């Protein structure tokens, strides 16, 4: 048998989140080995826009400057073209800026930065096939050639189609929501420069953002049943059903890009998990869950996952006992769900509202626009959630209830020319939409998070907690916060 290689931490997957993790966990006293299956980067279309919450983590880790040097473009916020004559609602990030860049360029930049850190080794062309266990503890991984690498901790960042997630016994639920047609459009700026721009079409929303000067990426949301057919069918669909809802001059450039075939299709799956940690291993990034990409939140959640893990491991050294590593993983698991549940629910709710497939969702969309028109404060509160600066479910619940109020107002105004039955049907549809949002965390073990959210609703809103402190709760905070997904270690051991 070949000799077993040993390291302190294995990172499976050298994609965006794996590289941020390698940079964050490396130190002169801890060796980190990254095992990436591909020789280069994953060639499929992946996210490009990182919100301020994610940029904050990149900055703390000393990775943001290199990204900017390598071409990342600053984003100031979002703009929504509402469909009302000439109206664009501009929502700026409350503070700081986002970064946008071609995904593969970003991964290459992060790989260079991570490889320069002490203790980090990155090996490409190394596909991990399985985990290695000693009893109920993961002690390493097995590679395609049958060799094994052992470590105190295995961090799994192998993406949304994670091979290792089920092998670790960490099931996730996956739902195919729609498809994205990603179109690269050059030679034009957005109507609101440096603002990710949402445009509405009857079939689905379009998100466009700049990845450079006069370099625009358009992500067109296509219903699953319309995404079938040839490239020519797709080009026809984009041209006839979506392009008319795009303002000039972007539309002309979009049509040219479609005609030249600069379109890439990608499935939009929503993946949700209840647990991310087992003894000796943890899943992070898309492997731990991913929302619909309309909110462009995947990498921000991934970066915050990494920050939470780094904080939880802060007092763990290479020589620490296995139980100390496990306690840290449980702490990370608890804190990441306190943050990520809010994000998941927000992403789904915003997608439903922009899709506006029912009377209720249409009323919510109108309510949301009214709310954003109302004040700078309302726009800022919504952007705080979107940017990942404020990830509390309670904040989301507060915003949602407020938007519901505006939506009821919109239904009442529309009802002036409608029958009582029609108005009642719209109200019923609105409540159904709200219920489908609320039951998401209720239907998973995150139900306790809703209880926590309702408890917090009664409290005065706090200023967003600076990153670092938010991810490192005090002992009392962790004791009082209801556990979202982590049963006690004894229970977990027996459940396996």
Ligand X SMILES: Cc1cc2nc3c(=O)[nH]c(=O)nc-3n(C[C@H](O)[C@H](O)[C@H](O)COP(=O)(O)OP(=O)(O)OC[C@H]3O[C@@H](n4cnc5c(N)ncnc54)[C@H](O)[C@@H]3O)c2cc1C
Does 296 participate in binding ligand X (rule CB under 6 A)? yes
User: Cα angle vertex 480, ends 477, 485, to 5°?
Assistant: 95
Burial of 71 (0-12, 13-18, 19+ CB in 10 A): middle
Residues 148-177 binding ligand X (CB under 6 A) are: 157-159, 163
Which among 284-292, 340-348, 362-370, 398-406 is the span making contact with ligand X, rule CB under 6 A? 284-292
Residues forming beta bridges with residue 143, ordered by sequence position: 128
User: Contact between 204 and ligand X (CB under 6 A)?
Assistant: no
Give the Cα separation of 182 and 145 in Å (integer): 36
147 versus 320: smaller Cβ distance to ligand X: 147
Quick check: 140 binds ligand X (CB under 6 A)? no
Of the pair 286, 326, the CB lying nearest ligand X is at 286
Q: Which of 29-37, 245-253, 323-331, 386-394 is the region at the interface with ligand X (rule: CB under 6 A)?
A: 29-37
Please, which of residues 254-273 interact with ligand X by CB under 6 A? 266
Q: Is 465 exposed, middle or buried (0-12, 13-18, 19+ CB in 10 A)?
A: middle
Whole-angstrom distance, CA of residue 436 vs CA of residue 345 = 10
Q: Does 286 bind ligand X (CB under 6 A)?
A: yes
Q: Which of residues 112-131 bind ligand X (CB under 6 A)?
A: 127-128
Stretch that binds ligand X, among 76-84, 225-233, 295-303, 388-396 (CB under 6 A): 295-303
Q: Which of 8, 10, 13, 393 binds ligand X (CB under 6 A)?
A: 13
Taking the C-alpha atoms of residue 227 and residue 269, their distance in angstroms, rounded to an integer, is 14
Calpha distance 216→302 (Å, rounded): 24
The CA-based angle 124-129-132, given to 5 degrees, is 110
Stretch near ligand X under the rule CB under 6 A, chosen from 7-15, 360-368, 396-404, 470-478: 7-15
Member of 11, 17, 177, 350 binding ligand X (CB under 6 A): 17
User: Contacting ligand X (CB under 6 A), which of 5, 27, 38, 137?
Assistant: 38
Listed in order, strand segments (DSSP E) in 274-419 are: 277-278, 281-283
464 binds ligand X (CB under 6 A): no
Strand partners, 216: 185, 210
Q: Which one of residues 172, 302, 446, 473 is an interface residue with ligand X (CB under 6 A)?
A: 302
Is 35 among the residues that bind ligand X (CB under 6 A)? Answer: yes
- Per rule CB under 6 A, is residue 49 in the interface with ligand X? yes
CA dihedral sign of residues 283, 286, 292, 296: positive
Q: What is the DSSP string of 233-292?
A: HHHHHIIIIIGGGS-TTHHHHHHHHHHTT-EEEEEEEEEEES--EETTEEE-GGGG-B--
Instruction: Select from 77, 297, 384, 473 the one that contacts ligand X (CB under 6 A).
Output: 297
Report the residue number, 42 or 241, with the smaller CB distance to ligand X.
Answer: 42
Closer to ligand X by Cβ: residue 92 or 130 = 130
Taking the complex as a whole, how short is the minimal distance between the CB of residue 491 and ligand X, in angstroms?
A: 28
First to last CA, the chain: 29
What's the chain's Rg over C-alpha atoms?
23
Site membership for ligand X, residue 393 (CB under 6 A): no
- CA distances to 193, 208, 460 from 214, rounded to whole Å, are 9, 12, 43
Size of the site for ligand X (CB under 6 A): 38
Q: Which residue has the tokens 């026809």?
A: 236
Of 2-10, 14-22, 253-261, 409-417, which segment contacts ligand X by CB under 6 A? 14-22
**Binder among 7, 47, 80, 347 for ligand X (CB under 6 A):** 47
Identify the residue among 151, 181, 299, 330 touching ligand X (CB under 6 A).
299
Cα separation, 102 vs 192, in Å, equals 20
Q: Residue 115 and residue 108: Cα distance in Å, rounded?
A: 10
What does residue 154 show for φ and ψ, rounded to 5 degrees? Answer: -110, 120
CA pair distance 111, 451, nearest whole angstrom: 41
Pairing of the two strands 215-222 and 205-212: antiparallel
Please confirm whether the linkage preceding 258 is cis (ω < 30° from 0): no
The answer to whether residue 132 forms part of the interface with ligand X (CB under 6 A) is: no
* Chain mean position to CA 405: 28
- Could you identify the residue written with the tokens 């647990």? 275
Angle at 41 between CA 38 and CA 47, to 5 degrees: 135
Q: Are 325 and 42 in contact (CB under 8 A)?
A: no
The region of 67-75, 228-236, 293-301, 417-425 touching ligand X under the rule CB under 6 A is 293-301
Q: Which stretch binds ligand X (CB under 6 A): 12-20, 237-245, 368-376, 434-442?
A: 12-20
What binding mask, one character per residue, do residues 217-236 give for ligand X by CB under 6 A, x or -? --x-----------------
| Binding residue (CB under 6 A) for ligand X from 7, 11, 16, 281 | 16
Would you say 57 and 468 are in contact if contact means Cβ atoms under 8 Å apart?
no
Q: Residue 158 or 359: which CB sits closer to ligand X?
A: 158
Return the range that interacts with ligand X (CB under 6 A); candidates 38-46, 237-245, 322-330, 374-382: 38-46
* Contacting residue, 7, 8, 14, 359, with ligand X by CB under 6 A: 14
Minimal distance in Å, beta carbon 326 to ligand X?
Answer: 23
Residues that bind ligand X (CB under 6 A): 12-18, 35-38, 42, 45-50, 127-128, 157-159, 163, 180, 219, 266, 285-287, 290, 293, 296-300, 302
């Amino acid at each position: 048998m070949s000799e077993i290689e040993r390291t302190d931490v294995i990172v499976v997957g050298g994609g965006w989140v794996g590289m941020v993790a390698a940079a964050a966990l490396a130190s002169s006293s801890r060796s980190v080995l990254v095992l990436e299956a591909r020789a280069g980067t994953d060639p499929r279309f992946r996210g490009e826009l990182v919100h301020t919450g994610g940029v904050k983590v990149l900055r703390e880790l000393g990775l943001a400057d290199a990204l900017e040097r390598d071409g990342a473009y600053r984003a100031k916020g979002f703009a929504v073209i509402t469909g009302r004559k000439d109206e664009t609602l501009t929502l700026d990030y409350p503070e700081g800026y986002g970064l946008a860049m071609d995904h593969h360029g970003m991964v290459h930049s992060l790989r260079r930065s991570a490889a320069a850190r002490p203790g980090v080794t990155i090996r490409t062309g190394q596909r991990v096939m399985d985990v290695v266990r000693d009893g109920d503890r993961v002690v390493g991984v097995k590679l395609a050639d049958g060799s094994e690498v052992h470590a105190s901790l295995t961090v799994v960042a192998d993406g949304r189609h994670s091979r290792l997630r089920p092998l670790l016994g960490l099931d996730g639920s996956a739902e195919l929501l729609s498809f994205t047609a990603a179109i690269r459009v050059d030679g034009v700026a957005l109507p609101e420069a440096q603002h990710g721009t949402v445009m509405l079409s009857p079939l689905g929303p379009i998100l466009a953002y700049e990845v450079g000067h006069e370099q625009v990426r358009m992500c067109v949301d296509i219903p699953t049943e319309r995404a079938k057919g040839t490239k020519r069918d797709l080009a026809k669909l984009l041209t006839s059903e979506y392009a008319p809802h795009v303002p000039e001059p972007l539309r002309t450039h979009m049509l040219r890009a479609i005609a030249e075939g600069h379109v890439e299709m990608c499935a939009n799956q929503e993946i949700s998990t209840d647990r991310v940690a087992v003894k000796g291993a943890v899943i992070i990034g898309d492997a731990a869950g991913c929302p619909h990409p309309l909110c462009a939140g995947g990498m921000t959640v991934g970066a915050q996952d990494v920050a939470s893990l780094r904080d939880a491991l802060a007092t763990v050294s290479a020589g620490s006992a296995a139980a100390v590593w496990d306690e840290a993983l449980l702490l990370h698991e608890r804190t990441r769900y306190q943050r990520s549940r809010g994000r998941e629910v927000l992403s789904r709710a915003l997608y439903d509202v922009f899709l506006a497939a029912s009377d209720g969702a249409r009323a919510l969309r109108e309510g949301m626009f009214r709310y954003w028109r109302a004040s700078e404060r309302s726009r800022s509160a919504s952007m705080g959630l979107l940017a990942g600066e404020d990830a509390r479910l309670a904040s989301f619940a507060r915003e949602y209830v407020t938007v519901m109020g505006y939506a009821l107002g919109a239904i009442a105004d529309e009802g002036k020319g409608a029958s009582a039955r029609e108005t009642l049907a719209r109200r019923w549809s609105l409540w159904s939409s709200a219920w489908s949002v609320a039951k998401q965390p209720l239907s998973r073990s995150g139900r306790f998070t809703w209880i926590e959210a309702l408890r917090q609703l009664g409290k005065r809103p706090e200023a967003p907690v600076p990153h670092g402190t938010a991810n490192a709760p005090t002992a009392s905070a962790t004791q009082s916060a209801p556990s979202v997904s982590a049963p006690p270690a004894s229970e977990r051991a027996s459940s396996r």
